[in-house]
Structure formats: structure tokens, C-alpha cells
């Protein structure tokens, strides 16, 4: 049993990224952080020089050829946006920019402005050309936003980088996206212990601990980025039909899956579907597990073969009725 771990951290993607390994490996850690920086530079919409921004800046004008990896991520984002019958929409950019949730100058926009921006969020107006790897936004003002899946994609690439360095055990935390590799020798039980934040707790309290081996754990919650105005909470996941933040019974959705991209996609898709529809889907997809935290302080665990949940906060009640 190894009891020591080696932690490497950097501030990237607006969050603290930490990599925990069981043996020291500066070279692997360096490669991981450089890769994250490189991918962030390609995917961000908060800086003008990224590949995604190049697409957005050419909206209504011309197609932009992007790298293979960015193209394949955009292809997947479009597939989910068009064929899942969910609220997931990677053309949501104009609304994200309008609300500015998570930034200092956030605002509740006028209904008129929301309606205007909604006209620019149809994913069918994004034309992909697989031969040239080019992406064209048909209308001026359209914007791709990969905020819901970029971290998941990056986490999966980090796993590949670590494997190239013969690192098969470890845990990477990209803030909300945690990916575990292999077994943990840090805990007697062999599981990696991933904290699940208690929604809205100011002191980073935990609702519980999710124990996994070789899985990704991704959480999307309304408490991550939000503001309150006239007693109404506005958070950062939008309903692409109304242009307002999604409003349902959920406080957070956690997905336990093999890949982090999958976890990121489903955490947003399930958040939009709400509990009942997500549960039906999960019953048919047992390899995917989920933890739902409800506003009525219930915790719902589904497909519990892939993880163990240890409750820490007694304000919530665990329900397994849904299994
Ligand atoms: P994070 O883990 O960074 O909080 P999430 O995975 O929960 O992010 O996704 C939220 C982000 O996804 C938003 O900040 C925005 O960039 C983008 N987004 C918001 N609404 C939608 C939507 N309906 N479909 C796809 N992406 C969205
Ligand atoms: Mg997500």
C-alpha cells in the first residue's frame, strides 16, 4: 500500500487543475499542463486567437479550417445538439455572451434581446465539411460555445498523455471534471475518493464522497456559476428554447462514466431532461451511472454497480427508489 502521493497544480481554464500521482513524475506533469494549455488555447471563447474564436469571428462570412482534434470535437457536439432531443446546444454562444454569467458584468437581459439572440442559436446553421475540416456559421453573430464539453475532452487527452509516460494510476481534477486512472493505492479499498460538493455551501463542504476505480466523475450544478436578482437564481446552463437558465427540480447532476467527454455531455443532457427522463435513459444504459441532487434535498443514486457513495451531509436523504 503506497501512502504517499505527489500533487502537481496549476491555474488553468479559470480553475485550479491538479494532478495527483503515486510516484513523482515531473516530466509527465509538465507534458500534461502543456497539453492542457495548448488545448485551452484552441478551444476557449474568452480569447480572440483560439481556433473556435476564428470560426466565430468569421460567422456569416466564410468557413474556417480547424485542426483535426477541434473538428472532431465540434462534430460530436453537433451530433449531440441535433440528434439527442435535449437542451444541449453548442450554438448557444450568443446567449452565453448576452447573460455573462460567471463574469462581473452579468445581467438579466431584456426579453427582446433574448429573442434576438435565440435566432442565432440554431445548430442546423452550422455547416461542417469533413473533407476540409472546415466549420461555417451561416449567420453573422452566431457563436459556437464548447464550454459544456471542453474540460471533458481535455481530461480524456490528459489520460492518453499519462499513458504515453507509462503512468497508469493517478487522478486529474479539472474543477468539476475528475478523471481517475486505474486503482488507488492511497486508500485501503483501492478506490479513488472524489468529493461531491454540497450545493451552495460557502465553506466547500461535501455532500458525500464518490468512490471509483478507473472512471470519470463529472458534475454540472446550478451552484457553480450563478447570480441572484430579485430572489431569483440565474445559473449558467441555458434552455435553448427559451433563452433563460434551465429551471427544474435538480441542483446538480454527476455522471460516472468511462470517458470524461461522455460524462460532460450527459451531465448537461440529463440536467436539461430532468430526473424522470434521465432515469429512463439510464435504465437502458447500465454502463453509465448518475447521482442527482434535488432541490428538495434528496440524493438519487442510479446504476450503483460502478461506484460507491458515502454520504457526509445529513441534510440530504438518499433515495434508492429509482434504482
Ligand atoms: P462547468 O463544468 O464549467 O460549470 P458545464 O459542463 O456545467 O460547465 O457546462 C456549462 C457551460 O456550458 C456554460 O458555461 C456554457 O458555456 C455552456 N452552455 C450553457 N448552456 C448550454 C446548453 N444548453 N448546451 C450546451 N452548452 C451550454
Ligand atoms: Mg457538461
Averaged pLDDT, 97-124:
91
How far is Cα 62 from Cα 186, in angstroms, rounded to an integer?
A: 52
C-alpha grid cell for residue 303?
446504476
Could you tell which of 236, 243, 252, 262 is best to mutate to test the pocket of ligand 1, judged by most ligand atoms within 8 Å of the CB? 236
What confidence tens digit (pLDDT) does each residue in 154-196 have?
A: 999 999 999 999 999 999 999 889 999 999 999 999 999 999 9
**Which triple of cell numbers denotes residue 179?**
478523471
Interval 105-123 mean pLDDT: 93
- The confidence band for 19, taking pLDDT boundaries of 50, 70 and 90, is very high
Q: Tell me what pLDDT residue 225 has.
A: 82
Q: What pLDDT, on a 0 to 100 scale, did the predictor assign at position 186? A: 92
Compute φ and ψ for 291, nearest 5 degrees: -125, 120
Give the number of the ligand closest to the Cα of residue 239.
1
Name the pLDDT band for 1 (thresholds 50, 70, 90).
low
Residue 320: HSE in the Cβ half-sphere, 13 Å Cα cutoff:
5
Contacts 24+ apart (CB under 8 A), 51-56: 52/144, 52/146, 55/135, 55/136, 55/137, 55/144, 56/93, 56/137, 56/142, 56/143, 56/144
Pocket of ligand 1 (CB under 6 A): 87-90, 92, 96, 145, 147-148, 176, 220, 224-225, 236-238, 240, 264, 267-268
Question: How far apart, in whole angstroms, are the C-alpha atoms of residue 93 and residue 20?
Answer: 33
Question: For residue 24, how far is its CA from the centre of ligand 1 (angstroms)?
Answer: 34
Near ion ligand 2, which residues have CB within 5 Å?
148, 220, 264, 267-268
Atom of ligand 1 nearest to the CA of 240: 23
State the pLDDT at residue 287: 94
The CA distance from 219 to 315, in Å, is 20
Check pLDDT > 90 for residue 3. no
Confidence of residue 278 (pLDDT cuts 50, 70, 90): very high
Q: What ligand has the least distance to the C-alpha of 265?
A: 2
Site to substitute for ligand 1 among 77, 147, 199, most atoms within 8 A of C-beta: 147
**What proportion of the chain, given as a percentage, has pLDDT over 90?**
82
Q: What is the pLDDT of residue 159?
A: 97
pLDDT surpasses 60 at 323: no
> Over 70: is that where the pLDDT of 321 sits?
no
pLDDT at 136 over 60: yes
Q: Kindly indicate the confidence band of residue 227, based on its pLDDT and cuts at 50, 70 and 90.
A: confident
Which residues 6+ apart lie within 8 Å of 296 measured at CB? Answer: 249
Q: Report the pLDDT value the prediction gives residue 101, as an integer from 0 to 100.
A: 80
The pLDDT of 114-143, averaged and rounded, is 97
CA-based nearest residue to 144, from 219, 58, 35: 58
What average pLDDT is seen over the chain? 93
Q: What is the pLDDT of residues 83-109, one digit of tens each?
A: 888 899 999 999 999 998 877 788 889
Rounded to a whole number of angstroms, the CA Rg of the chain reads 20
- Cα angle value 200/99/174 (rounded, 5°): 50
Of the listed ranges 94-108, 202-216, 235-249, the least confidently predicted one is: 94-108
176, 190 in Cβ contact below 8 A? no
Residue carrying the nine cell digits 474540460 = 151
pLDDT of residue 317 exceeding 90, the answer is yes
In this prediction, residue 286 has a pLDDT band, given cuts at 50, 70 and 90, of very high
Q: Say how many Å lie between the CA of residue 237 and the centre of ligand 1.
A: 5
Q: What is the mean pLDDT of residues 62-89?
A: 95
Please name the residue whose Cα sits nearest to atom 6 of ligand 1: 148
Ligand nearest to the Cα of 221, by number: 1
- Chain-centre distance for alpha carbon 95: 18
C-beta of residue 170 within 8 angstroms of C-beta of residue 20: yes
**Biggest alpha carbon distance in the chain?**
61
Q: Which long-range contacts (CB under 8 A, 24 or more apart) does 221-224 make?
A: 221/197, 221/251, 221/252, 221/253, 221/293, 222/250, 222/251, 222/252, 223/197, 223/199, 223/251, 223/252, 224/176
Amino acid at each position: 500500500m503506497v501512502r504517499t502521493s505527489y500533487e502537481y497544480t496549476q491555474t488553468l481554464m479559470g480553475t485550479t487543475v491538479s494532478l495527483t500521482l503515486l510516484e513523482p513524475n515531473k516530466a509527465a506533469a509538465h507534458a500534461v499542463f502543456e497539453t492542457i494549455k495548448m488545448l485551452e488555447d484552441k478551444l476557449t471563447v474568452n480569447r480572440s486567437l483560439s481556433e473556435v474564436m476564428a470560426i466565430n469571428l468569421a460567422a456569416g462570412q466564410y468557413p474556417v479550417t480547424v485542426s483535426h482534434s477541434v473538428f472532431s470535437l465540434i462534430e460530436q457536439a453537433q451530433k449531440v445538439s441535433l440528434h439527442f432531443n435535449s437542451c444541449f446546444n453548442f450554438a448557444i454562444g450568443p446567449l452565453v455572451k448576452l447573460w455573462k454569467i460567471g463574469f462581473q458584468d452579468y445581467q438579466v437581459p431584456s426579453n427582446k434581446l433574448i429573442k434576438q439572440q435565440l435566432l442565432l442559436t440554431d445548430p442546423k446553421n452550422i455547416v461542417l465539411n469533413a473533407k476540409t475540416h472546415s466549420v461555417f456559421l451561416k449567420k453573422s453573430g452566431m457563436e459556437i460555445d464548447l464550454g459544456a464539453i471542453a474540460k471533458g475532452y481535455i481530461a480524456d487527452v490528459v489520460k492518453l498523455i499519462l499513458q504515453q509516460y507509462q503512468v497508469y494510476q493517478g487522478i486529474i481534477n479539472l474543477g468539476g471534471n475528475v478523471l481517475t486512472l486505474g486503482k488507488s493505492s492511497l486508500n485501503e479499498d483501492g478506490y479513488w475518493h472524489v468529493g461531491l460538493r454540497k450545493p451552495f455551501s460557502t465553506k466547500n463542504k461535501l455532500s458525500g464522497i464518490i468512490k471509483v476505480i478507473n472512471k470519470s466523475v463529472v458534475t454540472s450544478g446550478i451552484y457553480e456559476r450563478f447570480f441572484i436578482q430579485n430572489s431569483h437564481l440565474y445559473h449558467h446552463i441555458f434552455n435553448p428554447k427559451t433563452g433563460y437558465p434551465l429551471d427544474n427540480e435538480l441542483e446538480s447532476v454527476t455522471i460516472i462514466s468511462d470517458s470524461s467527454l461522455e460524462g460532460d455531455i450527459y451531465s448537461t443532457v440529463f440536467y436539461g431532461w430532468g430526473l424522470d427522463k434521465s432515469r429512463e435513459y439510464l435504465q437502458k444504459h447500465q454502463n453509465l451511472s448518475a447521482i442527482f441532487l434535488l432541490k428538495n434535498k434528496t440524493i438519487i443514486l442510479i446504476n450503483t454497480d460502478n461506484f460507491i457513495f458515502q454520504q457526509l451531509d445529513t441534510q440530504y436523504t438518499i433515495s434508492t427508489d429509482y434504482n
